[in-house]
Homo-oligomer: A and B are copies of this chain.
Amino acid sequence: MITVALAKGALLKDSVSRFEKAGLDFSSVLESGNRQLMVPSPCGRARALLVRNGDVPVYVAYGQAQLGVVGYDVLREQQMPLAQLVDLGFGECHMAVAVKNNSGYERAADLPPHCRVASKFTHCARSFFDGLELPVELVHLTGSVELGPMTGMTEAIVDLVATGRTLRDNGLVAIEELFHSTARLVGNPLALRMDRGELRAIIEAIRTEGNLSEGLI
């Protein structure tokens, strides 16, 4: 039985569609009434675990799922022992430093030393500011990070930016990009080593499908 960890939310629809093209039908997770967290595919040889974005790496790293789909941002933040297999291309966004649009800061290095920075991604933010040799006080928040600068609690934020609308709506502007992120197919390293071809076939089908849709083949 192959188990695939899928992230609830923005990546789910595209994730299901990629696995469908590789012969695994998890479309019932998309039904609005679905409350199940473990969903079998009709073919009987696979099941999906429906978990939070941040939990996908845990289930794959511990081997409860052999494969998973998760944003590169989460992989960078968590640093779990996973094999990154395919860049799936969807879920595009970037991790950025943003400030109030009247702050006058034009790049991250302009921020005052020891200022506060709010983020859900404090590991990513820490390594970025360490790289700049700019000491900052990171404030870990779990949501609505834009309230940090709005309330005056922090000078800046480090957060994911997709369309930029949330920033604009809240009077913020991105001044520097940390990295670009897309959804990734990841695998459990041990499961991949023990694989007798079943996982490889799925991975290859997903990889080929991605290349086809990008016109690379």
- Nearest residue (CB) in B for A118 is B58
A197 at the interface (CB under 8 A from B): no
Which stretch, A11-19, A91-99, A150-158, A207-215, touches the partner chain B? A150-158
Say if the beta carbon of A180 comes within 8 Å of chain B: no
In the complex, chain A residues 47-74 whose Cβ is within 8 Å of any chain B Cβ:
49-52, 54-55, 58-59, 62, 64
Copy total for this chain: 2
Partner of A59 from B54, B146, B151 at Cβ < 8 Å = B151
Is the beta-carbon distance between B142 and A52 smaller than 8 angstroms? yes
Give the shortest distance, in Å, between A178 (CB) and chain B (any CB): 21
B38→A144 contact, CB < 8 A: no
The verdict on A168 contacting chain B, using a C-beta distance below 8 Å, is: no
Which one of B54, B64, B139 lies within 8 Å of A153 (CB-CB)? Answer: B64
> A141 to B78, alpha carbons, bound, how many Å?
12
| A115 is an interface residue with CB less than 8 A from chain B | no
For A140, list chain B residues within 8 Å (CB). Answer: 58
Q: Given the complex, which residues of B lie within 8 Å of A37, measured CB to CB?
A: 144, 146-147, 150
A131 within 8 A of B: no
A55-B141, A58-B153, A64-B152 known, 20 other contacts, Cβ within 8 Å: A37-B144, A37-B147, A37-B150, A38-B150, A49-B151, A50-B144, A51-B147, A52-B141, A52-B142, A52-B144, A55-B142, A55-B143, A55-B144, A58-B140, A59-B147, A59-B151, A59-B153, A62-B139, A62-B153, A64-B151
